[in-house]
Amino acid sequence: MRFYTYLLAGLLALVFMAGCNAPRSVIHSGKVTPKGEFKVGTNYAFNASTKPIGALADVTSGLVKDLKNRDTIVLNDQVNGISEAALAYTLDPVAPSWDFYVRYGLVERVDVGYKFAFGAHVFDAMYQFMGSTGTPANPGPAGTHGSIGLQYSGRNSKLPGKILWQDIEDILQFNASRKDILIPLVFSTSFGPEEQMGNISYGVAYSHTWIKYHFKPNNFVQEQADRQTVVPVQPLSAKNNYGALGAFVNAKIGFKYAYILPALAIYYQNYGKYELPGGKQTELKGFTFIPSLGLQFQFGEGR
């Protein structure tokens, strides 16, 4: 009984730690789920992106608390830095993520999947263009498998529920929404007949994001050229989109029904130019590293 109590506590802790990242960890194999079979699993990843880390370097809790206590905030480089940090975090959070998924072999060479990523509903499909479509019970010829897929997700993006970020959100009155697609090209080598003992997979992936964001501060003012008068800063609503190219490697290790899936994906993206309150503009770019570890179960007559 004590074991299950500890397990439940651990799972709840992971849920509350999980962020709302766009799911870009690639755990697919080049061999899709055989027709009529199911894969069910969970995956835990950490999204480490260089730009949000850099943008946060000059944002201190003392500065944020001081601004929150002011009735009027004069727009300056420090305030712009906080706006940039909020925007950079929304584009590519530095945070863990956790998801559950199910995949089904719809027809020969095509499987479909649904993933619940704690803040996002994710739908995808994979098409296998290379390699055998057999099963361990009825294997085909050995060789490399290859597949290509399309994944879609959409959600509202929020800053994390920590005190510093809540204060930033209150100051800026910031919110955003986004839609993401991911196109992975995957090749894999089987361990055992038809991946009965797993596989090692590798490939490249392209992602594209469309984002809408809003700053609606009600107490921001901006100095005029004479530095004697100030005017209110108007609310800002804008949108943008950007692409990212990445490479990944993953493995599936186990036997028949249960497998462990370690993976690593690396992306580079130029997020583009973004408007900030008061007419300022910032340009963002950087790398993202996504290590992950998952557990997968596979069911079907072919096993």
> pLDDT tens digits for 251-285?
999 998 999 999 999 999 999 999 999 888 889 99
Spatial distance between the Cα atoms of 263 and 106, rounded to a whole number of angstroms: 25
Inform me whether the pLDDT recorded for 303 exceeds 80. Answer: no
Instruction: Specify the CATH number of the domain 2-50+96-157+172-213+240-299.
Output: 2.40.128
Task: Determine the pLDDT at residue 44.
Answer: 94
Inform me whether the pLDDT recorded for 233 exceeds 70. Answer: yes
Alpha helices for the chain (secondary structure H): 2-17, 50-55, 61-68, 77-91, 163-172
Spatial distance between the Cα atoms of 87 and 273, rounded to a whole number of angstroms: 11
The helix-helix angle for 61-68 and 163-172 (nearest 10°) equals: 40
Q: Are 159 and 166 in contact (CB under 8 A)?
A: yes
Backbone phi and psi for residue 301, each to the nearest 5 degrees, phi listed first: -65, -30
As a whole-number percent, the residues of the chain with pLDDT over 70 amount to 89
- pLDDT band at residue 18 using 50, 70 and 90 as cut-offs: very low
Spatial distance between the Cα atoms of 152 and 56, rounded to a whole number of angstroms: 29
Q: Give the residue, 169 or 60, on which the prediction is more confident.
A: 169
DSSP 279: G
As a whole-number percent, the residues of the chain with pLDDT over 90 amount to 51
- pLDDT band at residue 22 using 50, 70 and 90 as cut-offs: low
Instruction: Report, as an integer, the average pLDDT of 10-15.
Output: 40
- pLDDT band at residue 112 using 50, 70 and 90 as cut-offs: very high
Inform me whether the pLDDT recorded for 6 exceeds 80. Answer: no
Q: Are 263 and 291 in contact (CB under 8 A)?
A: yes
> pLDDT tens digits for 34-88?
999 999 999 999 999 988 777 777 777 788 888 888 888 888 888 888 888 888 8
Task: Determine the pLDDT at residue 279.
Answer: 86
- pLDDT band at residue 11 using 50, 70 and 90 as cut-offs: very low
Task: Determine the pLDDT at residue 211.
Answer: 94
Task: Determine the pLDDT at residue 27.
Answer: 95
- pLDDT band at residue 20 using 50, 70 and 90 as cut-offs: low
Collapsing DSSP states into helix, strand and coil, what is residue 6? helix
